[in-house]
Amino acid sequence: MQTVNQTSSGTILISSANPRAFGSPVTFTATVAGSGATPTGSVTFKDGAATLGTGTLNGSGQATLSTSSLAVGNHSITAVYAGDGNYTASTSPVLTQAVGQNAASIVLASSVNPSATGQPVTFTAGVTGAGITPTGTVTFKDGAAVLGTGTLTAGTASMTTSALAAGAHPITAVYGGDANYSASTSSVLTQTVNVAADSVKLQALQIAVTKVAALVSGQAISGAIVSAIADGFADGCTDIRPVGSGVHVNKCPERGTKRIGKAFASLAQSRATWLAWADMRGTDWNTAASKGDVTGHQVNGLSGITYRFQHRCSRAFSAAMSSSATVRKCSMVRCMAMGQPAVLISPGKATTASASTRARRIPA
């Protein structure tokens, strides 16, 4: 009987891609050779002492194993041939497989776009990778300004804001990365923020109401001046009286007192009366509330002083009045014939419309 002993085998190991990004598949191929027939049996692939899997030798003496579970870093990979009836077991030299971080993919979405000023908007970032689900945080930015951050849960992070001003905002989501995935930034999402429809209507109403308010103020001021002139020409003095939609108040002077007499002692041929007055008028300027307009009331106030005087012209001046050239020389107040009264009005500032202080000229 002749005894035939097993012969030794040789095993070599190669990688389909080295280095390889995390989560991407890599295929290890072991080739077993002998001095005679093609070896048969199985090959065990290991990462250090940990078994990655096994493969069966084909007719060419090759076995393969594909995996995408290798973590980031360097891995000591070996292929261990178990042997068969003709060949003894053998182990390949160590192959150092490098695995680097992979790029994550990030997508940004808005809950409402366009939105209105003051309206809450939620930005959601979805981060995915080639392998396990990415972890870490996402920073949301409006251009270079940071809006806030969110922590990934099942690959999703979100944040809500209502502080965006009217206009277009370039929003991005920046993923900070983790042990397996590198940092990445989403494409720009242009968030458009419009002025709220109610604000647009309010602006239009304010413009319309401003015109109405100015018109009503002018009418109120004109009415106040007319009342002051009427009181100036009147013989008596009424402390308070109704006018239109308000009241006209006079501070009647102490006529005939020593104080008044001394104040105008130099006007030997004149007698003077000062009237301090105030005029308040209210107006309901909006009558279409049933159609959604804002209802309100406008109050106009004006105060001033009326100087009432009566000049008894000298005979020489009265005679000169027959000449039109002389009359034209009277610049502010016409000297009326023998005691006819005239008034000067000096209004102050109105509460709703400005009226500069001025003297009212009595027409010739």
Note the pLDDT tens digit of each residue in 72-90: 999 999 999 999 999 999 9
pLDDT confidence of residue 360? 36
Based on the fold, state whether residues 176 and 203 are members of the same structural domain: no
Same domain for 84 and 138, yes or no, is no
Query: Does a structural domain hold residue 362?
Result: no
Domain check: are 48 and 142 in the same one? no
The answer to whether residues 153 and 204 belong to one domain is: no
Whole-angstrom distance, CA of residue 138 vs CA of residue 235:
85
What is the helix (H) or strand (E) element at residue 53, kind and residue range? strand 50-56
Distance CA 163, CA 121 (A): 9
274 with 311, same domain? yes
228 and 343 assigned to the same domain:
yes
Contact in structure between 343 and 234 (CB atoms under 8 Å): no
Domain boundary among 147, 180, 195: 195
For 333, counting Cβ atoms within 10 Å of its Cβ (0-12 exposed, 13-18 middle, 19+ buried), the class is: middle
Rounded Cα distance between 36 and 77, Å, is 27
Domain range enclosing 157:
103-195
Do 334 and 214 share a domain, yes or no?
yes
**In this structure, is residue 204 part of a structural domain?**
yes
Residue with tokens 């594909």: 66
Check if the beta carbon of residue 54 is closer than 8 Å to that of residue 116.
no
Say if residue 271 is in the same domain as residue 258: yes
pLDDT at residue 251, rounded to an integer = 75
By the 8 A CB rule, do 260 and 279 touch? no
What are the tokens at 347?
């209004």
18: exposed, middle or buried (C-beta count within 10 Å: 0-12, 13-18, 19+)? Answer: middle
Task: Tell me, yes or no, whether 327 and 279 share the same domain.
Answer: yes
What burial class does residue 284 get, using C-beta atoms within 10 Å of its C-beta: 0-12 exposed, 13-18 middle, 19+ buried?
A: exposed
Quote the pLDDT of residue 341: 46
Residues of the chain with pLDDT below 70 are 1-4, 197-220, 232-236, 244-245, 253-274, 283-298, 307-364
Instruction: Kindly report the number of other CB atoms within 10 A of residue 294's CB atom.
Output: 12
Q: Which residues contact 248 (CB under 8 A, 6 or more apart)?
A: 224, 227, 228, 231, 240, 241, 242, 277, 278, 279
Which residue is listed with tokens 């992979």? 102
- The backbone torsions φ and ψ at residue 317, rounded to the nearest 5 degrees and listed phi first, read -70, -40
Question: What confidence tens digit (pLDDT) does each residue in 1-36 have?
Answer: 666 678 999 999 999 999 999 999 999 999 999 988
Amino acid at 326: T
If one counts the domains in the chain, the total is: 3
Is there a domain that residue 81 lies in? Answer: yes
Pick from 51, 80, 100: which residue ends a domain? 100
| pTM, 2 dp | 0.50
**Residue 352 within a domain:** no
169 lies in some domain: yes
Where residue 107 sits, what CATH number does that domain have?
A: 2.60.40.10
Q: Which residues pair with 124 in a beta bridge?
A: 109, 158
Contacts of residue 169, defined as CB under 8 A and 6 or more positions apart, other chains included, come to: 142, 143, 190, 191, 192, 193
Rounded-to-integer distance, Cα 147 and Cα 314, Å: 86
The type of residue at 227 is: S
**β partners of residue 194:** 116
Residues 230 and 316 in one domain: yes
Beta bridge partners of 319: none
**Rounded distance, CA 43 to CA 31, Å?**
9
Query: Does 353 fall in a domain?
Result: no
In a domain, 248, yes or no: yes
Q: Does residue 355 lie within any of the structural domains?
A: no
Bridge-partner residues for 62, per DSSP? 31
Q: Which of 43, 42, 16, 18 is nearest to 27 (CA)?
A: 16
Contacts of 318 (CB under 8 A, 6+ apart): 337, 338
Q: Which of residues 50, 69, 100 is at a domain's end?
A: 100
What pLDDT does 242 receive? 80
Structure tokens at 286: 């909006």
Predicted local distance difference test score (pLDDT) of residue 301: 78
| One domain, residues 108 and 203 | no
- Predicted confidence at residue 283, as pLDDT, reads 64
Q: Quick one: 313 and 214 in the same domain?
A: yes
